[in-house]
Amino acid sequence: MVGKVPPKLLESLVFTRLGYRDPSVLVGPAVGEDAAVIDLGGGMALVVHNDAITGASKLLGWLAVHIVANDVATRGARPRWFLMSLFLPEKGGAEVLGEVMSQVDAAARELGMMVVGGHTETTPGLDRPIVGTTAIGVAPLSRIVTTRGAKVGDYLILTKAAGIEGTAILCTDFAGELERRGVPSSVIERGARLLEKVSVVKEALALAERGLADAMHDPTEGGVLGGAAEMAYASGTTVELWADKVPVLEETRVAAEALGVDVLRLISSGALLAAVPPGRVGEALEAVRSVGVEASVVGRVKERSGCLVEVVRGGRVERVEDVHVVDELFLLWERVYGA
């Protein structure tokens, strides 16, 4: 078992063991929900998200900040504070630490966040660093958006393109393998620079501040398909995903074809999925574009039809019934490096 723990295990072994049930927790642990929401009183909410990054090494510090900041922003809150637990390999730990913290500092400054705590250690048995990371923000309760809010009839919009984070990882951690498989160095270099596009904070806040989204979700592990499945699961609906309408950058297409990766299942931080009411789609697209981000309509929310996602691709329909979509990146680590 690689990647996220399957929902059935979460529901039986985790969600039943959460300690005291605090009534101020409005959104707690749940499949597909991006961050916890806690009622602070006075019409304000605390938004907190914790995550881990295990599938990247060279981009670790930058991703550590942006990935959790994205999940706070999808709730409609501006991310402000950051904590990190960093586990370093015994070999080259000091050098890795310096590189990771340089990236953390740059990413936090870009978003206006402060590092307020964490933990750092050298851990036996690791061949690459891994990190547990947390972001915190505050927002008015009236602005809070959840994953479970998608409504039948909503259109699904996707910002930027599928597989952005995944492409950056492929073109850094798998650069040598791509070169061996004939991918031009210019494509690899451009793909690595897609790291700069992993933030969705601007477009998420643009939609939330205008009240344009019934639901928002950050499609990380499992890619756009995984994100759509989680939104459908959380909201009790089915998502019809129009695969041919999902934007894919050239760098992503070339790298994915070379390594045998399905782009729809490739980790996709940098893209935002939003369920938007039918009468407000144009307004939502314009709001996103007003902050310099492109978006496309890629599907529609339907009544639950016995599956979570109906993937319409090339005139054929693939029915996805399991909310747990294994990310292509983990499968690739196993195929190429045996990790």
pLDDT digits (tens, 9 = 90+) for 175-219: 999 999 999 999 999 999 998 899 999 999 999 999 999 999 999
Q: Are residues 230 and 166 in the same domain?
A: yes
Q: Which long-range contacts (CB under 8 A, 24 or more apart) does 125-129 make?
A: 126/87, 126/88, 126/89, 126/90, 127/89, 127/339, 128/57, 128/89, 129/57, 129/60, 129/86, 129/87, 129/88, 129/89, 129/96, 129/100
Region 263-268: what's the mean pLDDT? 96
Residue 19 forms part of a structural domain:
yes
State the total domains in the chain: 2
pLDDT tops 60 at residue 1: no
Residue 333 pLDDT class (50, 70, 90 cuts): confident
Residues contacting residue 16 through CB under 8 Å, at least 6 positions apart = none
Q: Are residues 277 and 130 in the same domain?
A: no
Residue 175 forms part of a structural domain:
yes
Of 163, 160, 156, nearest to 274 (Cα)? 156
Could you read off the pLDDT of 114-167 as tens digits, one per residue?
999 999 999 998 888 999 999 999 999 999 999 999 999 999 999 999 999 899
Q: Are residues 136 and 176 in the same domain?
A: no
Residue 54 pLDDT class (50, 70, 90 cuts): confident
Query: Looking at residue 339, what is its pLDDT?
Result: 54
Q: Are residues 102 and 181 in the same domain?
A: no
- In CATH, what number is assigned to the domain containing residue 132? 3.30.1330.10
Q: Read off the pTM.
A: 0.91
Residue 332 forms part of a structural domain:
yes
Region 96-121: what's the mean pLDDT? 96
Q: Is 198 left (phi over 0), alpha (psi -120 to 50) or beta?
A: alpha
What residue type is 111 in one-letter code? L
Q: Are residues 128 and 218 in the same domain?
A: no
Residue 191 CA to residue 185 CA, distance in Å, equals 10
Region 289-306: what's the mean pLDDT? 96
Q: Are residues 159 and 264 in the same domain?
A: yes
What percentage of the chain reaches a pLDDT higher than 70?
97
Q: Are residues 322 and 176 in the same domain?
A: yes
- Domain boundary, last residue among 91, 113, 142: 142
Better-predicted residue by pLDDT, 314 or 237: 237
Region 63-67: what's the mean pLDDT? 93
Residue 234 forms part of a structural domain:
yes
- Domain boundary, last residue among 142, 167, 193: 142
Q: Are residues 120 and 37 in the same domain?
A: yes
Query: Residue 206: which domain range?
Result: 155-337
Q: Are residues 255 and 125 in the same domain?
A: no
Query: Looking at residue 104, what is its pLDDT?
Result: 97
Query: Looking at residue 336, what is its pLDDT?
Result: 77
Distances (CA, A) of 207 to 25, 76, 295, 298, 299: 24, 8, 12, 17, 18
Output DSSP code: residue 142: G
Residue 25 forms part of a structural domain:
yes
- What's the mean per-residue pLDDT of the chain? 94
Query: Looking at residue 2, what is its pLDDT?
Result: 59
What percentage of the chain reaches a pLDDT higher than 90?
81
pLDDT tops 70 at residue 289: yes
Q: Are residues 313 and 164 in the same domain?
A: yes
Query: Looking at residue 128, what is its pLDDT?
Result: 86
Sheet holding 295-303, edge to edge: 215-217, 273-276, 155-159, 295-303, 237-242, 309-313, 316-320
Residue 132 CA to residue 84 CA, distance in Å, equals 6
- Domain boundary, last residue among 112, 142, 172: 142
- Tokens read off for 126: 């690791």
Residue 150 forms part of a structural domain:
no
Give the Cβ contact number of residue 313 at 10 Å. Answer: 13
Query: Looking at residue 179, what is its pLDDT?
Result: 96
Region 306-322: what's the mean pLDDT? 94
Angle between helices 185-192 and 164-173 (to 10 degrees): 130
Q: Are residues 166 and 70 in the same domain?
A: no
Q: Where are the alpha helices (DSSP H) in the chain?
A: 7-9, 60-73, 93-111, 164-173, 175-180, 185-192, 201-209, 223-235, 250-259, 281-289, 328-337
Residue 1 forms part of a structural domain:
no
Distances (CA, A) of 294 to 200, 221, 314: 11, 22, 24
Q: Are residues 316 and 244 in the same domain?
A: yes
Sign of CA dihedral 219, 223, 227, 228: positive
Distances (CA, A) of 335 to 103, 218, 324: 29, 27, 20
Residue 63 forms part of a structural domain:
yes
Query: Looking at residue 56, what is its pLDDT?
Result: 61
Region 23-40: what's the mean pLDDT? 94
